[in-house]
Structure 1
Amino acid sequence: MTFKICLAHALFAAGALLAGAVPAETLADVERRIVPVAGWGGTPADAALARKHAITHITLHHQGEPFPVGKDPVQYLRNLQTWSRATKRWLDIPYHYIIDLDGRIYEGRKIEYAGDTNTEYNPTGHALIEVVGNFEDVQPNQKQLDATVDLMALLAAKHKVSIDTIAGHKDHSASTVCPGANLYHYLQDGYFRHKVALRLAREQ
């Protein structure tokens, strides 16, 4: 009888595999799907001008402008890089990662280089994540929320940063509403910290 039960379990497991059961994505998988700077046609920053830092915080931003469906995120990133360097005289795109409407994650400024900001806080030590859109006016979609959780979990694990450091731009600056009320809601009610904690627990 025991043999029959074991055989039944084995056949069930084999059936699940044949049916297309997919293993859960790991944080290593998340890292592999990040589109590097070269992948979207950007150019590397001048390392000689960079301020090196170690990550101690994870800070969420929004684009702060409309990002309609159909807008090309690659062209947006190229334009942002050009504007950041030519107009702002910054080293590079101010954010380390950018998340588009489809939940794709793009590399911006290299994570080992401190970011930049138009506000008064010092972003040294902060891993800066930008989600495209103006979340004073629109809601983030589920793909963006899921990608944000994945990326925050990856950063927390890789840089050994406490999930208690997950916050929004406005938590560090009194002169901004960034990342917008509709995205900040997910920080305020603990959604991101809770989901990141669950995501990290899956890696144990």
Structure 2
Amino acid sequence: MSRHSVLFAWTLLTLLGVAQKAGGQKSCDFVVPRREWNGLASSCTERVPLPARYVIIAHTAGSTCDSPASCEQQVRNVQHYHVRTKGWCDVSYNFLVGEDGHVYEGRGWNTKGAHSGPNWNSRSIGIAFMGNYMNRAPPKRAIQAAQNLLTCGVAQRALKSNYELKGHRDVVQTLSPGDQLYQIIQTWPHYQD
């Protein structure tokens, strides 16, 4: 079975609520590891203390993707821009969410991101939705993938159980995460402006 077939199967199982570990705990297997999207090697060394208290939701304001192949390419595009053009040690986000309903590992839980400035990067996890969400909302499967990641983070003790969720615009002057996505995350239980 190809990797894309496996990802498709996990997407279906996750949407049906079947992809759970024993005891009802949601599986974190829906996160696509770096090695699977063929990312450049990271040269980042700074860590973020875990469990993190804050989560920052952003959007990349770039192209969207809606299949594993197009999302893997889009993550590589974002990483290439951040590393080759900006000169950063890696893609700036800890995780990226595709419209295909998968989460793509960026810097991961343990590595300090470069998404929200010096006051927030050292104490938060940055999650970016791939696309521009000023005038349209991400599909439900992308929203669910992000919510599953948050549940996963708490289950793995990478996030505090009482973590605070913020929009990118709540912590720096930006339009991110876009007007439509911002309205959605303001309804999530852990949102704090």
User: Is 1:88 matched up with 2:83?
Assistant: no
C-alpha contact (below 8 Å) 2:57/2:167 kept by paired residues:
yes
C-alpha contact (below 8 Å) 1:93/1:108 kept by paired residues:
yes
| TM-score normalised by structure 2 residue count | 0.76
Structure 1 counterpart of 2:189:
193
Give the total of aligned pairs. Answer: 170
Spell out, residue by residue over 1:9-30, the C-alpha distance to the aligned partner (whole angstroms, 9 max, x if none).
xxxxxxxxxxxx9746248653
Structure 1 counterpart of 2:107:
109
Aligned CA-pair RMSD: 2.7
Q: Alpha carbons of 1:148 and 1:68: their partners in 2 closer, same or farther (altered >3 Å)?
A: closer
| TM-score normalised by structure 1 residue count | 0.73
Instruction: Please tell me the residue identity of whatever aligns with 2:185.
Output: L
Instruction: Please tell me the residue identity of whatever aligns with 1:62.
Output: H
Greater radius of gyration (CA): 1
Local SS of the residue matching 1:193: coil
Structure 2 counterpart of 1:50:
45
**CA distance in 2 between partners of 1:74 and 1:168 (Å):** 24
Structure 2 counterpart of 1:61:
58
**CA distance in 1 between partners of 2:163 and 2:183 (Å):** 16
**CA distance in 1 between partners of 2:101 and 2:66 (Å):** 13
C-alpha contact (below 8 Å) 1:97/1:128 kept by paired residues:
yes
Q: Alpha carbons of 1:75 and 1:28: their partners in 2 closer, same or farther (altered >3 Å)?
A: farther
**CA distance in 1 between partners of 2:66 and 2:45 (Å):** 34
**CA distance in 1 between partners of 2:17 and 2:139 (Å):** 24
Local SS of the residue matching 1:56: strand
Unaligned runs of 5+ in 2: 1-15
- Give the 5 Å matches for 1:40-189: 40-46=37-43, 49-54=44-49, 55-67=52-64, 69=66, 72-117=70-115, 121-157=119-155, 158-173=157-172, 175-188=173-186
**CA distance in 2 between partners of 1:185 and 1:110 (Å):** 26
Spell out, residue by residue over 1:97-126, the C-alpha distance to the aligned partner (whole angstroms, 9 max, x if none).
111111111101132111113757531111
- Structure 1 runs (4+) deviating above 6 angstroms are none
Instruction: Please tell me the residue identity of whatever aligns with 1:167.
Output: K
Instruction: Please tell me the residue identity of whatever aligns with 1:177.
Output: L
Structure 2 counterpart of 1:18:
none
**CA distance in 1 between partners of 2:117 and 2:163 (Å):** 22
C-alpha contact (below 8 Å) 1:163/1:193 kept by paired residues:
no
Which structure shows the higher strand fraction? 2
Unaligned runs of 5+ in 1: 1-20, 195-204
Superposed displacement of residue 32, structure 1: 1.7
User: Is 1:32 matched up with 2:63?
Assistant: no
Which structure shows the higher helix fraction? 1
